[in-house]
Structure 1
Amino acid sequence: MALDRIGTPDAPRQLFANTPAQRVALARQQFFEEGVRPSGLVGEAVIQSWMRCSRTHTDRQRIVTFDAVTPSRLHATLARSRELLDAARQELAQMEHALAGTDCRVILTDREGVVVHVTQQPAAAHQPVLRKTSRVGVNISERVVGTTAPGIVASTGQACAVDGAEHYFDVLGHMQCAAAPIRDVAGQLAGVLDLTVEARRFGFDAASMVALHATTIENRLLQAQSRDHLILRFQASPTLLGTPLEALAGVAPDGTIAWLNNAGARLLGRLPEAADERDVEYLLGHDLASLLRLGRREAAQPLRLASGLGVWVQARLKGADGADFRHAVAMPGEAAPLAIERQDDARMQAPEACECTNLVESASPAQATLREHSRKLIEETLAAHGGNVSQAARQLRVSRGTLYRRLHGWRDNNGAEEGASPA
């Protein structure tokens, strides 16, 4: 690159580039031609990607092939990504509707960078690269197409935007892309959401948009993968519940917090690595039985965390077979829902309402696990309806078949235990 000179031809070389394009051009010269690390000219994520790609791809001028994976591998990839696609379906439709007046493509990949969803609309003549990449099954990971935003996210798990010549291969120099990660309940990368446009600028903050929708997809995926967990939704303001800003936590049957989303980690801190340090009472300041009682209420409840922070909480317990126990009958010793609402309304009207930490009563030790709690609710719901399975299933909002399977499973387990006991 011929650098501009200041003033006369004898003037010293310009130390700083004036435009983003000049900065990237200078960074490429320093990195690829001079072997100098271009810190400050491009982002660290791009520099690290260039370093990885330079070990894999020696010719930056070559034509990049966007070949789809084999049909058998594609079938396996789509099968593995079914949960991800189900969680993303609503957000993908909303994004595509919002971007219908642009040339942007919405792309969703699996954790390995294979496209599992892409916007289906005719690519314009000025988008030759997108015509090739906008296909399900194409691998757009770093090892195949070099530096791209989705490639970096698949490699690092961190959100990223790549602009023009920041792409490793010259042929991608007219692309703009922004991508964000989607993680599962194990904290592992489940997929990457990407926005890409060719031969023009986005014209809006694509990185913020893709991060917002990726967060919503991730929150849906976390809840979908959390059968048999108590799911807590909480935030400092109740108006934030049900939005991408809500904090989520999954409480396992043993009373430990199995996972937190990013918003939850910001309120509670990162989960300890050791499982024995994830006790819900230690991290939240309330035992499992108390939190289970919150699940009987539709409305958000005020709660003070162990840190002293006051939040609003909604709890939902869903069985492994989809039973929603929020709609079961009240447990013995528990106030009727209407009475609880009236008591809480009175508390909220009092000035010291937010100072109250014991908003829920402790349950007996027999109710200390989620499975015991759900079984007790089913049995009591059946008893309340005189053993009528159809009415109980309607109350629990599950099918009769689901309820029958539960009952038969318990009966079989009880029979096995009796058979194993000594005469």
Structure 2
Amino acid sequence: MADIWDDGRGATEEIVERFLDGEPTGNDVRAQIVHSWRRCQATGLSPDIAHAPLLEGLDFECGLVRAARPVFEGLGTTIANTPVCMLLGDANGAMFLRNVGEPAMRRAMDAVGAAPGFGFTEAEMGNNAHGSVLAERRTCQITGNEHYAEVLRRFTAVGTPVRDPLSGRLNGVVCVVCPNEWANAKMMTLARRSAAAVEEQLIGMVTERERALLETFLRSQGARHTPSSPLRGLCRRDQLTLEDSAVSLIAEGRTAMREVALSDGHIATLLAQPVTGSAEPTGIAVRVWLPGP
């Protein structure tokens, strides 16, 4: 909703009321904000009854939370003694982590449900720095009266996506929130740097997971060294065929075997097997048997 800082002064209470009455808002409000108001209106949400629901069954030890926890712990000194709140939510709109600079801001966040365990999608709370990032898949800034929900209009917030380091999929959102009178462009910098730090933690976790997968598989096969690629002597067409078959087997997520015809008429055999770490499944490994010369 913003790639550069915007003070949001165009969204006065009068303009908000004009929008709600179906009248033109003119050019005083950013187009992205008006679009977000329309999304909220389409859900049937009323600005005066927005409510963050308490969610059940959340996994507070999921990968996103484990990656973000050290980042949020480190933010304690950054926002200490300031009316600033940092929040982490997932791709479904659930809040998981919160770091608040002072008690008054903690109480203010509690009052609107901006706390771990609560949902903060646009359908629940109107446009906001968490839910709107999920809707638009990019950094969003919402200031004061730009909020659809009345209870959020005293705040300014910036949200930035946290993306999966391998797939690029949106995994979550880091938000920075403060009272309107404290808002400044440093909020956007803090949100983006914090989201980038969480992504760095995710990269480390992915690397560790892939290394564990290989080591566990080699142990299960009694191998002492990493084998050279069995596909190296094949033509490019056969390599791609086997790689596609391996991806398909991995997607099944179970033990499975498949025979694949090669370009020279021989048959290659692929075996997919789940491998486990110390406590839980680590992934799927695929072995390839090629015909002899």
Relative to the length of structure 1, the TM-score reads 0.46
| Partner SS, residue 171 of structure 2 | strand
Q: 1:78 aligns with which of 60, 69, 94?
A: 60
Deviation string 1:29-62 (CA, Å, 9 cap, x unpaired) is 4422243254x42333322210110011342223
Q: 1:31 aligns with which of 8, 11, 19?
A: 19
Q: CA deviation at 1:146?
A: 0.7
Determine the structure 2 residue equivalent to 1:166: 146
Quick check: 1:151 aligned with 2:131? yes
Report percent identity of matched pairs.
Answer: 18
For 1:89-238, what aligned pairs fall within 5 Å after superposition? 89-119=69-99, 123-124=103-104, 127-184=107-164, 185-198=166-179, 200-203=181-184, 205-226=186-207
Higher strand share: 2
The answer to whether the 8 A contact 1:116-1:136 is kept is yes
Determine the structure 2 residue equivalent to 1:50: 37
| Partner SS, residue 225 of structure 1 | helix
Q: CA deviation at 1:226?
A: 4.8
Give the letter aligned to residue 31 of structure 2: E
- Give the whole-Å Cα distance in 2 for the aligned partners of 1:186 and 1:163: 31
Q: Quick one: structure 1 residues 23 and 45, their matched pair in 2 at CA, closer, same or farther if it must change by over 3 Å?
A: closer
For 1:344-383, what aligned pairs fall within 5 Å after superposition? 365=232
Q: Quick one: structure 1 residues 216 and 121, their matched pair in 2 at CA, closer, same or farther if it must change by over 3 Å?
A: closer
Determine the structure 2 residue equivalent to 1:376: none
**Where does structure 1 lack aligned partners over 5 or more consecutive residues?**
1-18, 230-317, 324-330, 332-363, 370-401, 403-409
Q: CA deviation at 1:129?
A: 4.3
Q: CA deviation at 1:110?
A: 0.6
Q: Quick one: structure 1 residues 49 and 176, their matched pair in 2 at CA, closer, same or farther if it must change by over 3 Å?
A: same
- Give the whole-Å Cα distance in 1 for the aligned partners of 2:128 and 2:31: 14
Higher helix share: 1
Structure 1 runs (4+) greater than 4 angstroms displaced: 226-229
Q: Quick one: structure 1 residues 44 and 226, their matched pair in 2 at CA, closer, same or farther if it must change by over 3 Å?
A: farther
Relative to the length of structure 2, the TM-score reads 0.64
Determine the structure 2 residue equivalent to 1:4: none
Q: Identify the structure with bigger relative contact order (alpha carbons < 8 Å, sequence gap 6+).
A: 2
Decide which structure has the larger Cα Rg and report it: 1
Q: CA deviation at 1:365?
A: 4.5
The answer to whether the 8 A contact 1:227-1:321 is kept is no
Aligned length: 225
The answer to whether the 8 A contact 1:227-1:322 is kept is no
Q: CA deviation at 1:23?
A: 4.2
Q: Quick one: structure 1 residues 201 and 65, their matched pair in 2 at CA, closer, same or farther if it must change by over 3 Å?
A: same
Give the letter aligned to residue 320 of structure 1: L
**Where does structure 2 lack aligned partners over 5 or more consecutive residues?**
1-6, 217-225, 240-276, 278-284
The answer to whether the 8 A contact 1:182-1:217 is kept is yes
Q: CA deviation at 1:101?
A: 2.0
Deviation string 1:304-327 (CA, Å, 9 cap, x unpaired) is xxxxxxxxxxxxxx463579xxxx
Q: Quick one: structure 1 residues 199 and 152, their matched pair in 2 at CA, closer, same or farther if it must change by over 3 Å?
A: same
Cα RMSD of the aligned pairs, angstroms, is 3.7
Q: CA deviation at 1:128?
A: 3.4
| Partner SS, residue 42 of structure 1 | coil
For 1:393-408, what aligned pairs fall within 5 Å after superposition? none
Give the letter aligned to residue 103 of structure 1: P
Determine the structure 1 residue equivalent to 2:249: none
Determine the structure 1 residue equivalent to 2:244: none
